[in-house]
A and B are shown apart, each in its own frame.
Chain A
Amino acid sequence: MNVSYYPGCSLDGVAREYGESTEAVSRILGIELKELEDWSCCGAASAHVTNDMLALALPARNLKIADKVGLDLVVPCAACYSRLKTAEKELLAGKNIEGISDKYQGNFHIKHLTDFLWEDVGEKAILEKVKKPLKGLNPVCYYGCLITRPPKVTGASDPENPESMDNVLKTLGAEVRNWSYKTDCCGGDHILTLPEVAWKLMQKLLDMAEEAGADSIAAACPMCQSNLDSHQKEISQAAGKEYHVPVFYFTELMGLAFGDPSVEKWLSRHMVDPKPLLRQKGLI
């Protein structure tokens, strides 16, 4: 299976292990990720609060590249996905974006990685590659804001209760816990501008994961994972309660179940070391 691939800026930096695990897992599943040639930033959280046209034109440049390739476009980052989908909606509605609108066909789907793996790759193909079922691991799946919201843009059928990541991890043998905070906000880039607010939101998520009986959190967004993984020390200090919850990218767990040898390298980049938990469960 061949698809176009838009990794986004973070997968080369703060979310390196998300990028590496996505590529490794795709290779194992026989998916060829064709990275968009010379892709540029989608504008992320800053363009849409600064200038409406900039917020459309930045992602649209990438859609134009994908349009020429004509393959479905897979996006692992929730923010990139949201910006690309927003631009797609406007282009298909006939919005004029200079240098883009004229020849735009739009004959491809934009899919977030979670939905792509569950809906297009599917249970059977994933199950076939499982060498080491994630028995005994109890994660909650955390989707964050932008994979499903707003549904008018994403087309999510159940924006408050997405299931694709849950289904993938259940297929790997994980005992996924249910919780009602799948799509709550982690604070996003408030971690730099209003950190105390972001800490409060994350503390809530960590508390609710614990209440759901989870031993870890699985994420599918670079901002969500990096926020939750990198700031548990500050959150513990502010809350007067110790937090030490491993936060995985769901693709790292796929790599673990598929027996990929790079798993340890990915996990060594985490701030909260997930290896003791995995050792205790006999998974590494």
Chain B
Amino acid sequence: MTVAQTPQSVIPKPSLRKKIEELSGQKISACFQCQKCTNGCPVTFAMDIMPHKAMRLLHLGLVDEVLHSDTIWVCASCETCTTRCPNDIDIASVMDNLRQLSQREGVKSSQKNFPIFHSAFLSSIRRHGRVHETEMAVNYALKSGGIAGLLKQAGTGLAMFTRGKIKLLPPRLRAKSQVRNIFKQTRAKE
């Protein structure tokens, strides 16, 4: 895990802050650094920038620093920060927008597994209309860790197979094309 660089003296870039505010629809400048988000966050132990500090960096327009952090991926989308923020900032949704931006701009992060996982998940939906868990898990394991990655999951996979939890055949949806259309339409609007 890398520790993202947080500069000691900065020149604020309000235009970048506004860009994130527009993207997320959230008023980041309302944050008064009470740290409720950080105190309630269950995964700060694995973060390089605490959530309230990420909000402060965004407020100053230091978007790149946050985009390169582990924090945006370590966030588990548990929505505790959003629920507790006294200024009504949907922090989890800001994290979503940062992850979207990171994937769109192909930001190189030390958390490489996440974009691979989401791409495997979404391509399974695009293909079948529903997630085929087995296909998704195999694709993800192969793309993130190669054959070794697949073997690492093999034990759990086998145990699930013997318990009838693994479906070999993909789900069948009559209106698969409708779901494909949704992917096409929304991609055009990105």
Contact = CB atoms under 8 A, between A and B. Distances in A.
Contact of A40 (B43, B121, B129, B164): B129
A255 B58 CA distance: 50
A12 to B, nearest CB: 7
A145 B175 contact: no
A13 B118 contact: no
Nearest to A100: B182
B92 interface: yes
B129 to A, nearest CB: 5
B117 A184 contact: no
Interface stretch (A45-53, A108-116, A245-253): A45-53
Contact of B100 (A12, A16, A49, A149): A49
A174 B83 CA distance: 31
A61 B133 contact: no
A41 B164 contact: no
A43 B183 CA distance: 11
A47 B130 contact: no
Contacts of B134: 13
Nearest to A151: B83
Nearest to A16: B165
Contacts of A188: 76-78
A211 interface: no
Contacts of B137: 192
A41 B130 contact: yes
Contacts of A204: 42
Given A38-B173, A58-B182, A47 B164 contact: no
Interface stretch (A27-35, A193-201, A256-264): A193-201
A38 B164 contact: no
B76 A149 contact: no
Nearest to B188: A53
B175 A40 contact: yes
Of A149, A184, A192, most B-chain CB atoms within 10 Å: A192
A98 B165 contact: no
B21 interface: no
B154 interface: no
B76 A61 contact: no
Contacts of A160: 83
A91 to B, nearest CB: 15
Interface in A110-165: 145-146, 149-151, 159-160
Interface residues of A, number: 54
Interface in B154-171: 156, 159-160, 163-167, 171
A24 B125 CA distance: 28
Contacts of A201: 42-43, 76
Interface string A34-75: 000011110111111111111101100100000000000000
A137 B163 CA distance: 25
B186 A54 contact: yes
A197 B185 contact: no
B129 A41 contact: yes
A51 B79 contact: no
Nearest to A45: B77
A107 interface: no
22 contacts: A9-B130, A9-B171, A14-B160, A16-B164, A38-B173, A46-B117, A48-B77, A49-B118, A55-B96, A145-B76, A149-B80, A149-B83, A150-B82, A188-B76, A188-B78, A192-B117, A193-B113, A194-B46, A200-B45, A230-B156, A270-B163, A271-B159
Interface of B: 42-43, 45-46, 73-74, 76-80, 82-83, 90, 92, 96-97, 99-100, 103, 111, 113-114, 117-118, 121-122, 125, 129-131, 133-134, 137, 140, 144, 156, 159-160, 163-167, 171, 173-175, 178-179, 182-183, 185-187, 189-190
Interface of A: 9-10, 12-14, 16, 38-41, 43-55, 57-58, 61, 98, 145-146, 149-151, 159-160, 184-185, 187-190, 192-194, 196-197, 200-201, 204, 230-231, 268-271
